[in-house]
Amino acid sequence: MLIIEREGDCLSRAFILRRPVPKKCYEEYAYILDYLPYGYPYYFSTKTPLRRGPIAQAIGEDYFMLLELEPYRGIQLSLRERVYVGKSISDKIRIRRVIRKLTYDELTATAKAELPATLEIIVSKKEKYFIEFFNKAEPLTKKMHELELLRGIGKKTLWRILEERKKKPFESFEDLQTRTRIPDPKKIIIERIIEELKGGQKYYLFVVPSTQHS
């Protein structure tokens, strides 16, 4: 668990990162949220630096970093396409470089619209990781548990989860759903990730805030 002081405006805001991460963390792969072959439109330049040439916006699959990417010229990217964005130059076939990290507010309307469906792909692929979270989530305080940060999990559902995992660890989303009667475990995880991407949270369960990976 990391407690980080972030400077913003006139105030210093502390947030608590609940997941273990290396001191410097980078994404290896990301999913395309929007592809702009001619760069940002002129009316969007108030949000982001005006850049000529192809631009893509993407989300990383490990730390959920929002990224601005420069594809190689002539490359056509598809929405929700998985691309390599890591450090190995020889593996950079479609993406020339990561230009910078983005905030949620800097995403295009298309990128924001694509985010839930793209996150469903990532969450489904990383099912084992998220099930491990449900199996090992801990109290935040004497009155608050990590699991209660997920929308729809109140005290009764929390108690049911804790009782069921004592009997046997959860093995899949289907197993979790059947034994705890949570309607859609993936959906509440996706909703939490989007909340964390928007910023302003005290606790971060899944997203590594920009201060941590800058």
- pLDDT attached to residue 52: 74
- pLDDT attached to residue 70: 95
Neighbours of 187 (CB within 10 A): 17
- pLDDT attached to residue 50: 65
Neighbours of 11 (CB within 10 A): 7
Asked if 70 and 36 touch (Cβ cutoff 8 Å), the reply is: no
- pLDDT attached to residue 48: 59
Cα-based angle 48, 61, 110 (whole degrees, multiple of 5) = 40
Asked if 21 and 63 touch (Cβ cutoff 8 Å), the reply is: yes
Low-confidence residues in the chain, pLDDT < 50: 1-14, 212-214
- pLDDT attached to residue 154: 95
Cα-based angle 112, 116, 120 (whole degrees, multiple of 5) = 150
CA distance 102 to 30: 13
- pLDDT attached to residue 1: 46
- pLDDT attached to residue 211: 56
**pTM value?**
0.87
SS3 content of the chain, % helix, strand, coil (to 5): 35, 20, 40
Domains observed in the chain: 29-108 (2.40.50.140), 127-201 (1.10.150.280)
The DSSP call for residue 106 is G
- pLDDT attached to residue 12: 32
**Could you report the per-residue pLDDT of 18-27, keeping only the tens digit for each?**
666 777 788 9
